[in-house]
A and B are shown apart, each in its own frame.
Chain A
Amino acid sequence: MESTIKTETLDIEGMTCASCASFVEKSLTRTPGVQRAVVNFATEKATVDYLPAQASPATLKEAVVQAGYGVTERAPDTSAADRQAEIDEQKARAYAQLKRRFWVATGLAIVIMPLSMLMLWPAMMQRVNMQWLNYGLLLLTLPVLLYSGREFYTSAWNGFRHRAANMDTLIAVGTGAAFLYSLAATVVPGFFTSRGLMPEVYYDTTATIIALILLGKVLELRAKTQTSAAIKSLLGLQAKTARLVRPGGQEIDVPIEQVQLNDLIVVRPGEKVATDGILEEGHSAVDEAMLTGESLPVEKKIGDPVFGATLNKTGSFRFRVTKVGADTMLSQIVKLVEDAQGSRAPIQRLADKVSAIFVPTVVCIAILTFVLWFDLAPVEARLPLALVNFVAVLIIACPCALGLATPTAIMVSTGKGAEHGVLIRNAEALEKAYQVNTVLLDKTGTITRGEPAVTDFVPAAGQTASELLQIVAAVERQSEHPLAEAVVRYADAQQAQTIPATGFRAVEGRGATATVNGQAVLIGNFRLLDEAGIVLPAAVRQQADALLAQAKTVLYIAVAGQVAGLLGVADTVRDTSAAAIQRLQGMGIEVVMMTGDNPQTAAQVAAQVGITRYFAEVLPQDKAGKVKELQAEGRVVAMVGDGINDAPALAQADIGLAMGGGTDVAMEAAGITLMRSDLQGVVTAIELSRQTIRTIKQNLFFAFIYNTLGIPVAAGLLYPVFGWLLSPMLAAGAMALSSVSVLTNSLRLRSFSPLKN
């Protein structure tokens, strides 16, 4: 259901009549890029389909304002949090009520059980009036039926009217039949005795089944609330207020909903960043673990992006708001996790098909069980036996374990993934990641940092390293070339002193020149020096060749007409890459590298991280072709990339993993997004998917095996051979445990933690 057209819903303010609505609608329709706009006067909402390339929520808002109306700024996180709070409250109420119903049923069942057992002692039976005892039991059972179990009957009846049958149908029919039979035996015992039958009652069965099923529901509800804990904790991360800097410089705390684009917000140490923006004043270290899973604080300086819900650690800073509400990183993560939790895993299809026909089928089996027992059992016991087995089949076959098997595991694992900076788009992606046996890594930006860094600094004989670095940095600070930035970063890291340079001049395609300390300085490629008539000494040439052999870019430095040193620059491998690749290989996955670089550089990097198979000189448009090539070998390929040019390959792969620093296009094409630029995320994603699918398979196995074995036993199939019959009460106990065990198994995923080397 993907498309380039986006749909936005706006809350319109100030409409007083239907013509206002059409006015807003016209204004929106005329906005460039808007495909369709519909304004609902009653709900005060505008639904707009637009092309994101030509229009944005901001331009839509502008169109509404131009028409003379307003748009209520929605803060979906807060409303989502509010909505969640309301739902939570309702669930808490339902849980408390359920517990009350359970305790009433249990309390009464505890009394009913021993009273029913009296019949087992003939001596007792003579002292007690059976008729009166039965009436007493009936009175005790009625509250269980009408209060504790009422929901089963209303739900079954409502479902019946809608031609829908659910687990309540089975419980209602089962306990209902046992109760009605007992009622008849109590009220008109003569009907039974006249036919040579004992007027037996099953009040204990009725009450115990209801108590046990309610116990199952109580445990189930408690466990279920834990499966969505991840989303709740994500929503809870949102800051409630922001410290706004007024144009006059005055600082004021405002609720987060009032923060608007371009506001200036101040954040002090220990505070949460209110929303997304760009740092304008000050610097700090920010803990972004809640969004990226990265445990080390990230240094932030002027011009760096900051994200809502992250935690400011050390310094105080001010930032300009660039995103609010639904556009923030946190909201998008929440949305993505919610979407994933609503999606369906292909593995669930069988369970879905079975669920759809399950209950009516079981009812038919139960009816046939009744008929067969009635026809085949000895006349004096046929009615009780037929009834008991009919009830046992209905109760044991409750399909809730089947219904819970997949979704609960998906809920827990997608939430867990988000916690570790792994965003899973849907359940299908999770299932695909499980099957992966080959990981194709784009070199630049995934294995390597994707930006050049100085790897070697070689001062010529007679030069002092620290002085030369100061001179080099003085020149390069004036340049905007990426290589110059790498040199400046290196100099800063070495804490080189800042000195002034004059007369800076960039030489196109060669390098730069300037004057430092009264001396002419040249930094650039060999041509720059060659054209200036500077001769390279043999020793320096040798060192340069050695660097070139390692596929590094060489920068030559000349001071006052003499060669003063060399710099080796290369895209460096991330610290974590080799370990992560080794871990993937340890999981039995082949890791293949792909790069646009020459074979020499490719071989160099591959050797460094322990990859044996790689594709070099791959043009951006051929990346998807390489994925196909691997797929043609029968491999299930996961592609890891970060750039726009990776998007086709990410889409072609069986599962695409977009790296955090990546573009929106790459994320759009990927099934999994890694919030952190670190290959460890690939390991985490695959590991998580393997554990999840394993859990789902176990759940489905338990659910299916339980029903496939449980039904024939309950129907009495083993009776002719072993004389075994399943008591309906035991069936109820087993049934209560089945869904709880499936849930508990899914909740085990909460303890997932990615393996690291």
Chain B
Amino acid sequence: MDTTEIIVTLTGLALAGFVIWYFFFSARQTASAVSSSSGVREVGITVKGGYSPDVIEVERGKPVQLSFYRDEENSCSEELLMPDFSIRRDLPAFKTTLVELLPQQAGTFPFTCGMGMLRGSLVVK
């Protein structure tokens, strides 16, 4: 093995390690639903290549309003799926789409784009 091969091998392994860490193990952005002045629990989510925040904590048995603002035109994020709540919504680009739901069971419920690539989760406590 020459020096170039060693460098390429080590760089490759380091890159693969970084990819695994970055996509699977790094810390996620979490947000809790906050009560507005009138008492509705609201969470604003920006959709741009992913959901931010992508982990949303809500309380069980309390209605929550998720407002998804889609800040891009890329077709990957045009659909929102929350299968545990039987919700499929089109998210128009550069518009806010409201999703209201009443979580009645504790647990973690994923939400994804239409093809399941962009992912977030609703944590009901």
Question: A residues near B, CB below 8 A?
Answer: 1, 3, 5, 7, 9, 18, 21, 25, 38-43, 45, 47, 49, 86-87, 90-91, 94, 98, 151, 154-168, 217, 221, 338-344, 351-352, 355-360, 363-364, 367-368, 370-371, 374-375, 399-400, 402-404, 407, 426
CB contacts (< 8 Å) of A221 on chain B: these are: 75
| Docked-complex contact B86 and A426, CB < 8 angstroms | yes
Chain B nearest CB: distance from A164 CB in Å? 4
Q: Give the 10 A-B CB pairs with smallest separation, nearest first.
A: A158-B49, A162-B50, A403-B115, A342-B88, A344-B83, A164-B50, A371-B12, A166-B117, A360-B23, A159-B49
Q: Could you list 26 examples of A-B contacts with CB < 8 Å?
A: A1-B104, A40-B38, A41-B37, A42-B38, A47-B40, A87-B90, A91-B78, A94-B73, A151-B73, A154-B74, A155-B74, A157-B49, A162-B52, A163-B28, A164-B49, A165-B23, A166-B113, A342-B82, A351-B116, A356-B116, A359-B23, A360-B24, A371-B12, A399-B117, A404-B115, A407-B114
Q: Is B51 an interface residue (CB 8 A)?
A: yes
A interface footprint on B5-44 (CB within 8 Å = 1, 0 otherwise): 1001100110110011011101010000000111110000
Q: Is B66 an interface residue (CB 8 A)?
A: no
| Docked-complex contact B9 and A371, CB < 8 angstroms | yes
- Complex Cα distance A359/B13, Å? 17
Chain B nearest CB: distance from A600 CB in Å? 46
Partner of B16, one of A25, A368, A403: A368
CB contacts (< 8 Å) of A165 on chain B: these are: 23, 117
A interface footprint on B113-125 (CB within 8 Å = 1, 0 otherwise): 1111111000000
Chain B nearest CB: distance from A128 CB in Å? 31
- Complex Cα distance A713/B20, Å? 23
CB contacts (< 8 Å) of B37 on chain A: these are: 18, 41-42
Residue of B nearest to A373 (CB): B8
- Complex Cα distance A166/B72, Å? 15
| Docked-complex contact B16 and A364, CB < 8 angstroms | yes
| Docked-complex contact A367 and B83, CB < 8 angstroms | no
CB contacts (< 8 Å) of A41 on chain B: these are: 37-38
Residue of A nearest to B85 (CB): A1
CB contacts (< 8 Å) of A155 on chain B: these are: 49, 72, 74, 76
Chain B nearest CB: distance from A328 CB in Å? 20
Residue of A nearest to B91 (CB): A87
Partner of B63, one of A47, A167, A342: A47
- Complex Cα distance A569/B103, Å? 52
Give 14 new A-B contacts, CB below 8 A, not counting A164-B118, A164-B119: A38-B40, A87-B90, A94-B93, A154-B72, A155-B74, A162-B118, A164-B50, A166-B76, A341-B88, A344-B81, A363-B19, A368-B12, A374-B9, A375-B5
Chain A nearest CB: distance from B13 CB in Å? 7
| Docked-complex contact A355 and B117, CB < 8 angstroms | yes
Instruction: Give the interface centre of A39, A90, A163 by most chain B CB atoms within 10 Å.
Output: A163
Residue of B nearest to A359 (CB): B117
- Complex Cα distance A344/B83, Å? 5
Instruction: Give the interface centre of B37, B82, B88, B119 by most chain A CB atoms within 10 Å.
Output: B88
| Docked-complex contact A355 and B49, CB < 8 angstroms | no
| Docked-complex contact A168 and B36, CB < 8 angstroms | no
- Complex Cα distance A371/B1, Å? 12
CB contacts (< 8 Å) of B9 on chain A: these are: 371, 374-375
Instruction: Give the interface centre of B22, B28, B90 by most chain A CB atoms within 10 Å.
Output: B90
| Docked-complex contact A39 and B38, CB < 8 angstroms | yes
In terms of DSSP, what is the predominant structure of the interface of chain A? helix
| Docked-complex contact A342 and B83, CB < 8 angstroms | yes
| Docked-complex contact A1 and B1, CB < 8 angstroms | no
| Docked-complex contact B116 and A163, CB < 8 angstroms | no
| Docked-complex contact A375 and B1, CB < 8 angstroms | yes
Residue of B nearest to A88 (CB): B90
| Docked-complex contact A162 and B51, CB < 8 angstroms | yes
Chain B nearest CB: distance from A363 CB in Å? 5
Partner of B72, one of A43, A158, A167: A158
Residue of A nearest to B51 (CB): A162
> With A49-B102, A158-B49, A403-B114 known to touch, is A167 a contact of B76 (CB < 8 Å)?
yes
CB contacts (< 8 Å) of A368 on chain B: these are: 12, 16
CB contacts (< 8 Å) of A9 on chain B: these are: 100
Chain B nearest CB: distance from A397 CB in Å? 13
> With A364-B20, A367-B15 known to touch, is A49 a contact of B63 (CB < 8 Å)?
yes
Chain A nearest CB: distance from B17 CB in Å? 9
Residue of A nearest to B71 (CB): A158
Chain A nearest CB: distance from B112 CB in Å? 8
> With A42-B36, A49-B102, A356-B116 known to touch, is A342 a contact of B86 (CB < 8 Å)?
yes
Partner of A7, one of B74, B81, B102, B105: B102
> With A49-B63, A90-B92, A403-B116 known to touch, is A158 a contact of B50 (CB < 8 Å)?
yes
CB contacts (< 8 Å) of A47 on chain B: these are: 40, 63, 65, 100
Chain A nearest CB: distance from B44 CB in Å? 13
Chain B nearest CB: distance from A86 CB in Å? 7
- Complex Cα distance A9/B51, Å? 26
CB contacts (< 8 Å) of B50 on chain A: these are: 158-159, 161-164
Residue of A nearest to B53 (CB): A162
- Complex Cα distance A25/B36, Å? 14
Chain A nearest CB: distance from B124 CB in Å? 10
> With A42-B38, A221-B75 known to touch, is A360 a contact of B19 (CB < 8 Å)?
yes
| Docked-complex contact B12 and A355, CB < 8 angstroms | no
Instruction: Give the interface centre of A5, A94, A342 by most chain B CB atoms within 10 Å.
Output: A342
CB contacts (< 8 Å) of A371 on chain B: these are: 8-9, 12-13
Chain B nearest CB: distance from A173 CB in Å? 10
Chain A nearest CB: distance from B88 CB in Å? 3
CB contacts (< 8 Å) of B24 on chain A: these are: 357, 360
CB contacts (< 8 Å) of B87 on chain A: these are: 339, 342
- Complex Cα distance A167/B12, Å? 21
Residue of A nearest to B28 (CB): A163
Partner of B115, one of A21, A217, A355, A363: A355
| Docked-complex contact A374 and B5, CB < 8 angstroms | yes
- Complex Cα distance A97/B40, Å? 39
| Docked-complex contact A367 and B19, CB < 8 angstroms | yes
| Docked-complex contact B36 and A161, CB < 8 angstroms | no
CB contacts (< 8 Å) of A7 on chain B: these are: 63, 100, 102
CB contacts (< 8 Å) of B83 on chain A: these are: 342-344
- Complex Cα distance A162/B77, Å? 13
| Docked-complex contact B92 and A87, CB < 8 angstroms | yes
- Complex Cα distance A426/B103, Å? 18
CB contacts (< 8 Å) of A351 on chain B: these are: 116
CB contacts (< 8 Å) of A162 on chain B: these are: 48-52, 54, 118
Chain B nearest CB: distance from A53 CB in Å? 18
| Docked-complex contact A356 and B115, CB < 8 angstroms | no
> With A164-B119, A357-B24 known to touch, is A374 a contact of B38 (CB < 8 Å)?
no
| Docked-complex contact B119 and A86, CB < 8 angstroms | no
- Complex Cα distance A343/B8, Å? 46
- Complex Cα distance A158/B70, Å? 12
Instruction: Give the interface centre of A40, A217, A339 by most chain B CB atoms within 10 Å.
Output: A40
- Complex Cα distance A418/B82, Å? 22
